[in-house]
Structure 1
Amino acid sequence: MPISATRKAAIRAEIVEHAARLFRLRGHAGTNIDDIMLAAGLTRGAFYAHFTSKDALFAEIVRMGHGLLPKLRAGKPSAVLDAYLDRESLSATAQGCALAALAGDVARSPLSARLAYANVLHGVIAELARGRKRALDADATAVAILAVGAVALARASGDTRLSDWLLRCARRAAKTLMKPKPKKPAPKRRASPAKKRSTSRPKAAPALPSRRAARSRGGPA
């Protein structure tokens, strides 16, 4: 008896959920289909009713953007960043952000996964730039780089004090970059220069010759 569309969707979601957790914990290379299906309580054969390959499943998980993007869409960016750049969030690798956890794996993956990663990253930057003039705002882009990079570095570091320092510095820098910039005052219009009034006196009309001068020149009296 064929399963219903609802049941099929539920099985697919279960596969994705367990695969996402395993990929974040073990990486792409350290996770195989048998591991995923065992965690989901399903047979290997059931996998191919939903995905053509492990790479296709991996690209789907990256595309879903687990972690930072959904939280930014649902909440205030400053509050989301504070929680994201926190020690408690850092330790939750299995449920954490795919951008930080899977960056290295995605770089070695087929184009489909890399394009999916790029789309999620674009979405994160756009959410951080909410209310700004441009979707690819330079400060919002810098905050995305800071946040994802700080989590990846802090998680990789075996030194707890260094990890905490990285997160603290990233939080401080992100707050500075996310502050709204003061609006520049509108440039003052220069008044058009008034026409200079002539200060020179008009030339006097030439004086008429006197009668005596006219007679001496032989003119009429």
Structure 2
Amino acid sequence: MHDDNASRIKIRNVEVLSDDWYLLKKTTFDYRRSDGSWQTLTRETYDRGNGATILLYNRERRSVILIRQFRFPTFGDGHDGFLIETAAGLLDHASPEQRIRAEVEEETGYRVHDVRKIFEAFMSPGSVTEKLYFFVAEYEPDSRISAGGGLQAEGEDIQVLELPLERALQMVADGGIADGKTIMLLQYAQLHLLPSATSNG
């Protein structure tokens, strides 16, 4: 945060609402508006740490590796809760590069060596503190060393999918893929990794 912007925030009170699986806090603070006046605001923030996600892609096949798993918060509201996603995980005090190598092998069974960070993004900045680190890596069919599937002890029951990029993009269009980080990475792949013959990428 820039020093001049930091001076616009004065924390008045922090209340812990829940410290169970993750940390939910209610913070009251004074905010100096652009016109110089001060306003007292209250916000709830959910801190689950930062995370990393990765898209595996194969140039020759023009394919990507995705996973399908049950996400309880999405269950309902017209969705069955089974989301198709890129492999991802929380950092748990590891570097983003270290964590994503371990996470992608754990979830997909693919061992990757050259991972490349393409950007960082806050995914739900209105309430969640999490910053996500986005990676891409090439995979080869023979680099799959296990079935993947995640950790049963953590309740993971993951199905691994290999899809043509064009099919995955069509699933974004028709609602079959509805996960934000996954859509971002698939669109990045379309623009920069596997541009079609008719693309300017």
Common fold by TM > 0.5: no
The structure that is helix-richer by fraction is 1
Structure number with the bigger relative contact order (C-alpha 8 A, sep ≥ 6) is 2
The structure that is strand-richer by fraction is 2
Q: TM-score, normalised by structure 1?
A: 0.23
Q: TM-score, normalised by structure 2?
A: 0.25
Structure number, greater radius of gyration? 1
